[in-house]
Structure 1
Amino acid sequence: MQMPFNQNSLVKDIVNIFPQSSDLFKKNRLDFCCGGNRPLSDAAIEQNLDVPALMNELEELYKKHNGKAENMEVWTESDSEELIEHIKNKYHRELEEELKMLSPYVTKVAKVHGDRHEELLEVYELFYELKKELLEHTAKEEAAVFPLLLQLEAEEDEKRAEMVAEIKALEKEHDHAGSILKQLREITGGFNPPIDACGTYRLVYKRLEALESHTFMHVHLENNILFPRYIA
């Protein structure tokens, strides 16, 4: 997959195109915020980094986060075990990683800019509420609900009433997560940062918007493809 940037691209432009690159830059102490207005190669050389090696890492990260769009038809035709494994590997694991990596950025922006942009304090509260909700939700799915779904594949009807109740509870949790995301979108004006926003501020909004998209697709696979198989 061809990356839409190279070692001569400005660091800030790379982060704007591919927000997850900020994690790699942060790890390597490359300033993508105030010092992002220079080519990646220059910034890397200043930190005594191997530019080709850095580009290889960046390419692997880009491939990981920017694969082909989800093909829903594939999953409507798949069996439940395969679909559940896909949800766990594609959505649960990536969600856990993104929530972990995004947390310090949300905290930093709220602390640094919250006095002038009070909406960031609410963004902070909502983000951590969403994080807690989603992590508890996915843990419950993997520990209890998904195994029960697969058990029903082999043992008809005995636990179906219990399963329907579990699914309804999960759908309510999905609704709550969606409500939090809606509030985040409203508070941030559609994830549009103000004119005076720094690079990290803008990064947080971009990644929150990506998190919204990722979560909506995750919920779609469960609510509209997986769960109806058991409550129809």
Structure 2
Amino acid sequence: MNFPFTEQSLVRDIVNDFPKSSDVFKRNRIDFCCGGNTPLVTAATANRVNLESLIEELKDLYEKKENNEQNDMEVWMKSDSKAIIDHVIERYHRPLEEELGSLSPYVTKVAKVHGDRHPELLRVYELFYELKKELLEHTKKEEEFSFPLILKLEDGSVENREEALKEMAQLEKEHDAAGEILREIRSITSDFELPIDACGTYRLVYKRLEDLEGETFMHVHLENNILFPRYL
């Protein structure tokens, strides 16, 4: 096996070429979307992760990778901006809106029922609703204003290029804010570790929060590391 990455490879480039590596980075609390423009060795040091072990994890997973996963990311690397934007809206925005709505009552219920014994759930409740508000406002703005502006950059019809570039920079800041909320949720839940007395709803909430984190990171990765760099 010819492993194509080194300790100096950028985290975002590893994920672009090898999407499944995002699982390894997520497990090691390494930000591959908002902070992806970082060499692997720097990211490992900053997160107190053993570099040799991290590379071994990546190598092991690389050996097991499925060709279709890599091909999917290559498709987006070669796609035009409209195709990527349409994919983001249908693959991430619509399911995100649905999941945030359907998960809300479960987060509320678990906080009310178990919050006395597990006070971290009260903070999870606060963070989830903060995340929900920010993401819904963010995706609405993207669809109504930001994405149409980016498409004007694509076809050359934009009237103010600097405005469009500033808007993408602002979107990245909003992505950073959402990422920080997700990292705090992961931290205070000890990587979504379930207590002995966790009921079915408790388990469901932790599993769906972790899935939401993964989906959001891939969503942001497509924008921050594939779409926006074409113009910034």
With normalisation by structure 2, the TM-score equals 0.69
Q: Distance in 1 between matches of 2:125 and 2:69?
A: 30
Query: What amino acid is aligned across from residue 230 of structure 2 in structure 1?
Result: R
Matches within 5 A, 1:115-130: 115-130=116-131
Matches within 5 A, 1:35-74: 71-74=72-75
Q: What SS does the aligned partner of 2:116 have?
A: coil
Query: What amino acid is aligned across from residue 93 of structure 1 in structure 2?
Result: R
What residue is the counterpart of 1:141 in the other structure? 142
Matched, 1:227 2:228: yes
The percent of aligned pairs where both chains have the same amino acid is 69
How far 1:158 moved relative to its partner? 3.6
Aligned length: 164
Q: Describe the superposition over 1:143-200 as per-residue Cα deviations: whole angstroms up to 9, x where unpaired.
A: 0010011112222664210011101110000000000000000010101110111010
What residue is the counterpart of 1:16 in the other structure? none
Change in Cα spacing, 1:168 to 1:89, as seen in structure 2 (3 Å) is: same
Q: What SS does the aligned partner of 2:193 have?
A: coil
Q: Distance in 2 between matches of 1:124 and 1:174?
A: 20
How far 1:69 moved relative to its partner? 5.1
What residue is the counterpart of 1:214 in the other structure? 215
Q: Distance in 2 between matches of 1:91 and 1:170?
A: 16
Q: What SS does the aligned partner of 1:227 have?
A: helix
Q: Distance in 2 between matches of 1:179 and 1:146?
A: 23
Query: What amino acid is aligned across from residue 223 of structure 1 in structure 2?
Result: N
What residue is the counterpart of 1:77 in the other structure? 78
Q: Determine if contact 2:152/2:158 at 8 Å carries over to the other structure.
A: no
What residue is the counterpart of 2:113 in the other structure? 112
Query: What amino acid is aligned across from residue 145 of structure 1 in structure 2?
Result: S
Q: Determine if contact 2:115/2:122 at 8 Å carries over to the other structure.
A: yes
How far 1:221 moved relative to its partner? 0.0
Change in Cα spacing, 1:107 to 1:69, as seen in structure 2 (3 Å) is: farther
Q: Determine if contact 1:105/1:204 at 8 Å carries over to the other structure.
A: yes
What residue is the counterpart of 2:90 in the other structure? 89
List alignment gaps of at least 5 residues for structure 1.
1-67
What residue is the counterpart of 2:166 in the other structure? 165
What residue is the counterpart of 1:150 in the other structure? 151
Q: Distance in 2 between matches of 1:204 and 1:81?
A: 34
Change in Cα spacing, 1:90 to 1:69, as seen in structure 2 (3 Å) is: farther
With normalisation by structure 1, the TM-score equals 0.69
What residue is the counterpart of 1:60 in the other structure? none
Q: What SS does the aligned partner of 2:191 have?
A: coil
Query: What amino acid is aligned across from residue 99 of structure 2 in structure 1?
Result: E
Matches within 5 A, 1:12-31: none
Q: Distance in 1 between matches of 2:217 and 2:128?
A: 16
Q: Determine if contact 1:152/1:159 at 8 Å carries over to the other structure.
A: no
What residue is the counterpart of 2:178 in the other structure? 177
How far 1:203 moved relative to its partner? 0.7
